[in-house]
Amino acid sequence: MTVAIDRTTPDERVPSPPARLSLTPTSPVPGLLDGAWWPRSRDLLRELPALTDVLDARWGRITRVSVNPAHWPVIPRKVPATGHTVKVGWFTDEQDPHKLILLSYATGRWDLLVIPPETSAAAAARLTAAAATVGSLLTASSLMANETATRAARADLSREEEWETDGGLPQGRPEAERTPELHRAPELQGR
């Protein structure tokens, strides 16, 4: 795997669309994730400013972000945000590839599930709800694996339903009624 690190710091902030974000409600029961983020692209320089703008107001100034480079083709070292710069780092083995870690000097650390940009709206809704569940002990990768399994099961069910409606065995009829010649007694077959 090749990781491209962008060592330049842009002078101007890249316009960002609003962040698609779901956060776990405040609770005394901790979970492994603090919510989910569904970026529109794999461009951290474009996506992170909108995310940090939302979270700065809620959690305090985000100063550092850590990603796993498995899903990010270019990782900038710094990203301009409103009123400050966010430093970006990466870890391959130590960090879940589907997780974004946000750090704030004032208030701590938050872990977000990163939903791939190409995910359908229905799947993203399921994932954001699961990641924002209070006290959940599911990791980001386990949530993604569960969604993949759900998608595969739905595809299998859809294929089975299609088969049933396109000439598969009719439902509700015993097999003996559908193929009587196969179930006749040998002495009756000659008549």
Q: Cα–Cα distances in Å, from 185 out to 134, 173, 175, 180, 190? A: 64, 21, 16, 10, 10
More confident residue, 19 or 179: 19
pLDDT of res. 62: 95
Note the pLDDT tens digit of each residue in 68-88: 999 999 999 999 999 999 999
What are the φ/ψ torsions at residue 164 (nearest 5 degrees)? -65, -35
Note the pLDDT tens digit of each residue in 92-130: 989 999 999 999 988 899 999 999 999 999 999 999 999
Cα dihedral across residues 157, 163, 166, 172: positive or negative: negative
- pLDDT surpassing 90 at residue 28: no
Confidence of residue 191 (pLDDT cuts 50, 70, 90): very low
Does the pTM surpass 0.85? The reply is: no
